[in-house]
Amino acid sequence: MIQTGLIPNAHGDLVTDASYDFYGLRLATCSLDQRIKIWQLDEANGTWSTEDDWKAHDAAVSKISWAHPEFGSIIASSSFDRTVKVWEQAAPAAAADQQTNANAGGQSSSRWIERAVLPDARGTVRMVEFAPHHFGLKLASIASDSILRIHECLEQPSLTSWQLVEEIDVQTVADGGWCLSWCKDRYWGEVIAAGCGTSGTIKTSTAVETTNTPSSTAYAITSVAWAPLCGRSYHLIATGGRDGHVRIWKVKPGSDDAAEGDHEAAKWTAASVADFDHHKSAVGRVEWNITGTVLSSAGNDGRIRLWKATAGNVWRPAGSVGVEQATGETSTQTENKDVDMDT
């Protein structure tokens, strides 16, 4: 059974992203109001309460990502101020000192401490995501300057020194990069899918193109999600676009036996296995479950929709959740700065 809960008036402006931690017991949200909030789940009654709230950037915060818990309680945020910031939850003693400083005239009483600022981008940073933990403490970001950047932490556990280890030009004509997603399986190495420009194109980190549509319609891919492999002999990548479509792609790597210089044989290839337009409006987020068997999507229609493959690997709608199911109101009656969750 799908259960829903509502956090009313979560932020003072449009909520731009929401991300669960590894255990699903905490939720980080960010907004156009320049703030980040951390919410804690009360498992007894299913309600969420504010654990922390602070001004994180000097412009709208676009995305937020949790690091794997083996590295500690760490999040990264990206912003329209052209920076990526790394935050760590302070130990109780440090948090007490910070609270004392705040009471003495400091600017923040948050328990989250800014550990690093990465100012390399020359445009709005639209997406940030930590790498799978088996690759170490790394994060990737993509910006409107068309550059995909990968940073690696050189000093753990201080988190203060980060090295820019890769800059990849996604070579878009306009509007730069929009979104990214790491390949979850370590066997294939550090591979990233990135949504680029308004041409409906997804590229891997080796700049191999897989075009999302054969038509001449131009639209931005606003979200991409690489599914966990879970024993499949191929990869699945989901995309959501401004054209209102949710698409699922079957992706295969190039041949390892390709002759030197045979770039075509070495390219990754993709084929569409599903295309849904149920949202009828821009899709802001697509996300897989932990086994890569169920896909969820969120659109400007105010609904979270679920998609699942049948026994014959035919993808079908598997239900939807709307704000009105949690509150008894219609979607048009509920402000878009609320956060709607399905568990």
Q: What are the tens digits of pLDDT across the range 95-127?
A: 555 555 554 445 556 799 999 999 999 999 999
235 inside domain: no
Rounded to the nearest integer, the mean pLDDT of the chain is 84
pLDDT reported for residue 57: 98
Contact 238, 270 (CB under 8 A): no
Domain at 165, CATH number? 2.130.10.10
231 inside domain: no
Radius of gyration in angstroms for the set of CA atoms belonging to the chain, rounded to a whole number: 20
Q: What are the tens digits of pLDDT across the range 259-284?
A: 455 556 567 888 999 999 999 999 99
246 inside domain: no
* Continuous H helices in the chain: 92-103, 263-266, 323-327
159 inside domain: yes
Total domains in the fold of the chain: 1
17 inside domain: yes
pLDDT reported for residue 325: 52
pTM above the 0.75 mark? yes
Domain limits at 130?
10-92+109-169
Q: How far is 2 from 305, CA to CA, in rounded Å?
A: 12
Torsion sign across C-alpha atoms 33, 16, 228, 250 = negative
Q: What are the tens digits of pLDDT across the range 69-95?
A: 999 999 999 999 999 999 999 976 555
54 inside domain: yes
201 inside domain: no
241 inside domain: no
Q: How far is 55 from 269, CA to CA, in rounded Å?
A: 43
- More confident call, 225 vs 205: 225
**Separation in Å, CA 340 to CA 33, 277, 287, 321:** 18, 21, 15, 9
